[in-house]
Amino acid sequence: MSAEEIAELTARLRRLEDREEIRSLIAGYGRAVDDRDWESLTRQYTVDAQFESAGGRSVGVEAIIDYYRERTADYVASYHYPHSIEITFIDDDSATGLVCAHAELTIGGDTVMVALRYHDDYRRVDGGWRFQERTVHLLYVLKLSDLPTEFASRLRVRWPGTAPAVAHIGADVASGRTVDPR
Amino acid sequence: MSAEEIAELTARLRRLEDREEIRSLIAGYGRAVDDRDWESLTRQYTVDAQFESAGGRSVGVEAIIDYYRERTADYVASYHYPHSIEITFIDDDSATGLVCAHAELTIGGDTVMVALRYHDDYRRVDGGWRFQERTVHLLYVLKLSDLPTEFASRLRVRWPGTAPAVAHIGADVASGRTVDPR
Amino acid sequence: MSAEEIAELTARLRRLEDREEIRSLIAGYGRAVDDRDWESLTRQYTVDAQFESAGGRSVGVEAIIDYYRERTADYVASYHYPHSIEITFIDDDSATGLVCAHAELTIGGDTVMVALRYHDDYRRVDGGWRFQERTVHLLYVLKLSDLPTEFASRLRVRWPGTAPAVAHIGADVASGRTVDPR
């Protein structure tokens, strides 16, 4: 076996291991948010990471953690869980990802369901994978009590206490197909 | 290291990579359906693929895409997401899979929840994995407003506008245990 | 390539294969419970395994299966599905896991939603991975009809016919933050 062949095999093996590590990063993220485990969450982001969600864009891991602290102060409990994960490598130390997910939040006594996609950038830093950027694209944000009838509305991003907004994603959004706002 | 040993290691590595590719195929499927991205969906099926779902069996990728087009025209938005994935290889270029999943559909203003299992055949074609066959086994199809009480019914496959039908799967279906149809 | 290098590569490959096998074990578990497939479930546990859930701790695979039989006799149908899976290896033949999941149960005509984490120990026995220990940590157990308003309650573990109990996990439980029990 030539040195080249060995190097190629090893690189392929490393890539598979990287996928597993990124998958663990994504799994650990939900737990860290739900447990308000800021120490773990801090380790999951690069120092200059960016996070974009309902509250706008936070730049730098400290600002991101501050954002989570403030945001989750309104929740009693929460459950963030990923479904499918698609990872594409850019080079040995960076990759992009698309994660379909749900979050169940308790806001003001109501259970609020969030259906979303995370658009991620991952970077390997000091031997471990971290989020370089997470951007949330919303399919809906609805009280569970409204979900039976309001998923069909384009104005289905309804954070309690804010004006209903159009979803970021969804076939109707993509197509521009008109749906009566309810 | 003998040539045989190298070949065996490489084959094992290839199989792991194949699992990742099939997982990406399954993840991409949900996104393609939800985005009505027929181009991607077309690439996910083999030319002579078969898809069997609520509307019967479609044969050939063109018929399959036509079916999706027609079917999803009734939905405003949808969310298809897989949970667990079990893959069994038949040979280097074919495998079977069992995917537990949910779909959230908007039909006629109602949010309809579908709990299902996909029974899949995968084939490697031109270097990439595709669906050769997808068959949907339904656990339930219920308006979310009915889900709190009707999962216990055997007649829990209730596509809006059609007569309630018995589920394909479920302990009660398997055992023949009688449950009062509601 | 030295014998040592080959051994290391092979060990890394084996570990990745082990991850896939454990993932399949976790996927197969949900199906086995939902299908009341006791034969498969028996093969998924070690002989001296332990399972701890709502009904207390069962020791030994026979006691575990008896527990499932008895417990699921109250359900008409059920759907157990995992979300994220985090696996940590202790040595070549043992690992721990943390699995975020949901279960949908039908109890007395009601659909009951369970949000939970499995804390697992896995062992390789006779060449295959099995559960050595599964412990269920509950985030909530609520009738779907109560979920819109009761996730915010600390007394959100509400098995039908039993007194409401405090959840095992959740930010409020971890922090001791007082939430009015409803």
pLDDT tens per residue across span A29-52? 999 999 999 999 999 999 999 999
Inter-chain residue contact A110 with C149, CB threshold 8 Å: yes
CB distance B58 to B50 below 8 Å: yes
Residues of B in Cβ contact (< 8 Å) with A100: 27, 30-31, 79, 81
Inter-chain residue contact A85 with B35, CB threshold 8 Å: no
How would residue A177 be classed by pLDDT, with cut points 50, 70 and 90? Answer: low
CB distance C30 to C72 below 8 Å: no
Low-confidence ranges of chain C (pLDDT < 50): 180-182
Q: Is B139 on the interface with C (CB under 8 A)?
A: yes
Inter-chain residue contact B86 with C27, CB threshold 8 Å: yes
Inter-chain residue contact A86 with B10, CB threshold 8 Å: no
Q: What is the largest CA-CA distance in chain A?
A: 66
Residues of C in Cβ contact (< 8 Å) with B86: 24, 27-28, 31
CA C42 to chain centre: 15
DSSP 8-state symbol, A137? E
Residue pLDDT, tens place only, C73-103: 888 899 999 999 999 999 999 999 999 999 9
Residues of C in Cβ contact (< 8 Å) with A10: 9
Q: List the one residue out of B180, B96, B109 whose CA is nearest residue B144.
A: B109
Write down the pTM of the prediction.
Answer: 0.95
Inter-chain residue contact C84 with A79, CB threshold 8 Å: no
Q: Is C6 on the interface with B (CB under 8 A)?
A: yes
**Alpha carbon of B76: minimum distance to chain A alpha carbons (Å):** 6
Tokens 């069992």: give the residue. Answer: B98
CA atoms in the 13 A half-sphere facing the CB of C148: 11
For chain A, percent of residues with pLDDT exceeding 70: 95
Residue pLDDT, tens place only, B127-138: 999 999 999 999
Give chains near B: 3+ CB pairs under 8 A.
A, C
